[in-house]
Amino acid sequence: MNFQTSATTLRQQSKAFLSDMANDPRWALTDMDFQTRWTEIQKEIEATGTYTHSEKELTFGAQWAWRNSNRCIGRHMWRSLKVHDARSAQENKDIVHALGQHMETAWNDGQIQSLITIFAPRHPRRLMEPDPVRIGNGQLIRYAGFKQSDGSVQGDPASVALTQHMLDQGWRPENRHAFVPLPWSIWTEDEEHPPEDVFAKCPQWLHEVELTHPEWPGFAELALKWYAIPAISEMALVIGGITYPCAPFNGWYMGTEIGARNLADEDRYNVLPAVAKCIGLDTSSPRNLWKDRALVELNRAVLHSFDDAGITMGDHHELGAQFEKFCKVEARGGRAVTGDWSWLNPPISGPSTPQFHRAFDGRVSPHTNYFYQSSAAEDAKARKRGAKNGSTPSADPYDLEHHHATPRCPFGHG
């Protein structure tokens, strides 16, 4: 639920953000530029309770938020984030169009581009005012999970609740199988629109990779695949104290996200037993380390398949080495490297990556960052309860203990 930000806090956070921007050589803000803009912001806050970011501030803010994201191992690439300004899109058709542009631009013929599309902000002082735009999906692309009569799940168990909600809202998928992309749940002014089955209407926005193995031809018979663009759509972007509750963003996958989590986890697709059988492993005892061996071969298949398809994907050794360089640059500049150790280490081969042997400053930058927030449905219900009871919502939507950014971050999607 959104909460009241005092004018004092908003001024403090906006000034801290503007100072960070002034110190970045790419933007070349002189002392006079800073003072002029700071005066404008203060006057606007005094008059309206909020302020409006310029195009340059929006771009820098989204990039700076990525840089501040403690759980993201790919944030050394923060300057490369492209920003689409969709603050004027508030009609359903315009929102779908903006999201479609996002999918097309991010795809870039397989050379995935890091991209964020930013919709209208939340007013920091108006507690009962609905958010202009929200998305009910955790990611713009995610596979459905269909609950079967015997209690099993066809597809992704993590999507069962949203899948059922979409079905209840009128979604009628043409086919049901393990990899059906969910429709979009778009909200405006606390009202949910009918499901937008965009990938049925616009299949060109969906790019998937069928998984094969470089040494085991039979691996293809498992009929596994995954989508190419991980685009987080549930998190709030905060820039200088202003919250953008709808700001979907993507980077590109790190292989272990798919191979060691999405497909391997027992509460997700749980394919390790099938992989082990495919490559002839003895599964009679866990001391055979068959799960470990199957896990490595599954991750090899993921990397091999994305490479074979010509689609951008990182691996945990490559990204770990790049992040280590970022840490050393920060250290030479006298800056503490903030981070969440448990998230910066990959789900396999952690001790073989540099970040395993580092300690990180766990402080969170509050004025410009990406944060978890309560869902659009939860917020709408809370506002309706507040209006009925005459109470004022006050819960802080930002989970500072478990926050992470662009993931979640562009490398941390699940």
The set of catalytic residues is 72, 75, 252, 257
CB-based contact 205:104 (threshold 8 Å): yes
CB-based contact 184:140 (threshold 8 Å): yes
Rounded to an integer, what distance in angstroms lies between the CA atom of residue 344 and that of residue 356? 8
Closest CA to 268 of 224, 214, 305, 234: 224
Distance from first CA to last CA of the chain, Å, rounded?
24
CB-based contact 330:337 (threshold 8 Å): yes
CB-based contact 220:206 (threshold 8 Å): no
Rounded to an integer, what distance in angstroms lies between the CA atom of residue 301 and that of residue 284? 24
- Structure tokens that stand for 22 in this block: 């002034």
CB-based contact 236:244 (threshold 8 Å): yes
- Structure tokens that stand for 41 in this block: 């912001």
